Structure 1
Amino acid sequence: MKVICVAGYKNSGKTTLVTRLVDALSKKGSTGTVKQMLHHRFNPENTDTGKHFDAGADVVAAITDSELVTIKRNPTLEDSLNALADSGVEFAIVEGAKSSDLPKIFLGDVEGSDDISNIIVQLPVRSEWDIDALVELVLDQPEWVTLDSLIRKVRSNPDIRLSGGIATFTGIVRRINGDVETTAIDFEKYEGVADRAIEKICFDLKQEDNIIDVLIHHRTGLIRSGEDIVYIVVAAAHRQELFETLTEALERIKDDVPIWKKEFTIEGDFWVHDKL
């Protein structure tokens, strides 16, 4: 899923630009939006869903003839984007969230704020924007990937009809390793080379008998203990090849992909010199 944030101050034309981008991107694939609405409430206390929520429900789903709304506690921007990716959305536009680290189209002047980062293009407010150019900018953004989005992609493979199963592996940051407690790991990759190495692993494994599809995604940057590092999804005709290929994919990631890690522990931090 490609993600872009449209940010700016009040009355800068954010909603107008978002709707124009939605109109253009929806012609290329499924499109979703996220709107930060601070100090608003979707389910007021005098509604049935509000009463459910106030009684202590952690998640409330409201269904009409044409809409489904899910209300949950402790919401985050990451949660909303993961939900869009899990549902199969190909393009996500976030309106607002100017303090996030998402790639941004910013409308107007930044006004000297230090908490606005990752502006990839700055545009005049309420203008005749070049939507085609902005669509190309969105297409150039990195993929936002979840495990469910990879599984959905494998299921969309026309050859899935030959598959008898889908298996997945999720690698996470181990918090306790012997007597050492890890708080986070910072992953760095050899740009371009690492991605090509992963593509080659997937290509090679798909040449094996009865292997329908293989997808791999490895996150980079700072990942905290308990959070996901790597996803592997394999579809195969039979379970024997399925699990053998899943294991082979993991070993080849460790051996062939130039990704390095700096480990942060309660006793200090250090670079792990071997590849994963």
Structure 2
Amino acid sequence: ADHSAAPATADDPDTALSLSGDGVWQGRGVVDGFDDLLDGLAPDHDYLVAVGYDRLRLPTVLLGPDADAADTPGDVIATGANADDVDLDAVVDALDAAEPWITRETLVRRVEASPRAERSGAIATFTGRVRTRDSPDDNRTTHLAFEKYEGVARDRMDRIADELTDRDGVLDVAMHHRTGVIEAGEDIVFVVVLAGHRPEAFRAVEDGIDRLKDEVPIFKKETTEREEFWLHRRDP
């Protein structure tokens, strides 16, 4: 990432991002944060390499004699004194196995590309997020941590999506549940339904999130300002 571009002038957009001919991203103006940048790029790009960032919750390659994997928020997939010490094939394999950066817009674009989209008149979405507290007197939740049986969880979400898509009027369904540490106020889960009309779209979205919570083996640990605890477990 190259942040050396000149600041925006009065005639420029508030935020400008560009990719130079030699593959360097340049940015100027106001960017809310790196997560927002990733959210904007994710629907249209398969990969992004962020150079010089070590505080992101992303698959990370650490280089240098003082690299500290224990102090890195992302999953460290390789370390080395320099680039020559890194097995690139192993890095590629680790990236392919990593959870992709999925946003609600990613899933909306996915269902919009359905061959059945020309019959649709509605897209309904549900977004679950980390609630800070249930009431004003509750201890503040700082973050949640999610773990799942990866293969089983994906298979069950696919089965739920397929069964909802079999309903009359439902044309396509996409869903995604994030794992790892998710901070207060951040998004956790998305359900997106493409349908002919809004009634079947809304019903499928509600049933989709209810079934995901009931049927997909996901473990959730909550951390508040005072304690941390597992909320529930489901067998695979």
Q: With structure 1 as the length reference, what TM-score do the two structures score? A: 0.68
Determine which structure has greater relative contact order: mean sequence separation of CA pairs < 8 Å that are 6+ residues apart, divided by chain length: 1
Q: Which amino acid aligns with 2:212?
A: I
2:65 equivalent to 1:111 = yes
What is the deviation of 1:193? Answer: 1.6
Rounded to whole Å, the distance in 1 between the matches of 2:197 and 2:230 is 40
Q: Which runs of 5+ in 2 are unaligned?
A: 19-25
Q: Is the 8 A contact 2:165 2:171 kept in 1?
A: yes
**Cα distance 1:273–1:164, how it changes in 2: closer, same or farther (>3 A)?**
same
For the residue of structure 1 that corresponds to 2:116, the secondary structure is helix
Matched, 1:246 2:202: no
User: Structure 1: which amino acid aligns with 2:219?
Assistant: W
Distance 1:269 1:130, change over 3 A: closer
Number of residue pairs aligned between Structure 1 and Structure 2: 223
How far the C-alpha of 1:154 sits from its partner, in A, is 1.0
CA distance in structure 2 between the aligned counterparts of 1:158 and 1:223, rounded to whole angstroms? 34
Does 2:30 align with 1:79? no
Deviation at 1:198, TM superposition (A): 1.0
Runs of 4+ in 1 over 6 A off after TM superposition: 129-134
Partner of 1:18: none
2:102 aligns with 145
Mapped pair 1:161 → 2:118? yes
Equivalent residue, structure 2, for 1:170: 127
Deviation at 1:110, TM superposition (A): 2.9
Contact 2:15 2:30 in 1 (8 A): no
For 1:85, the aligned partner's letter is A
Residue identity in the other structure for 1:227:
E
Cα distance in 1 between the residues matched to 2:199 and 2:108: 19
Does 2:225 correspond to 1:269? no
Q: 1:130 and 1:118 mapped to 2: Cα distance? A: 13
Q: Deviations 1:142-187 (Å, cap 9, x if unpaired)?
A: 2110111111111111111111110100011112213313222222
Q: CA offset at residue 97 of structure 1?
A: 2.2
Residue 119 of structure 1: how far off its partner (Å) = 3.0
Question: Which residue of 203, 221, 231 maps to 2:190?
Answer: 231
**Residue 22 of structure 2: aligned partner:** none
Aligned partners of 1:140, 1:263: CA distance in 2, in Å?
A: 26
Q: Distance in 2 between matches of 1:169 and 1:113?
A: 40
Q: Percent identity?
A: 36
Query: How much is the aligned-residue C-alpha RMSD, in angstroms?
Result: 3.3
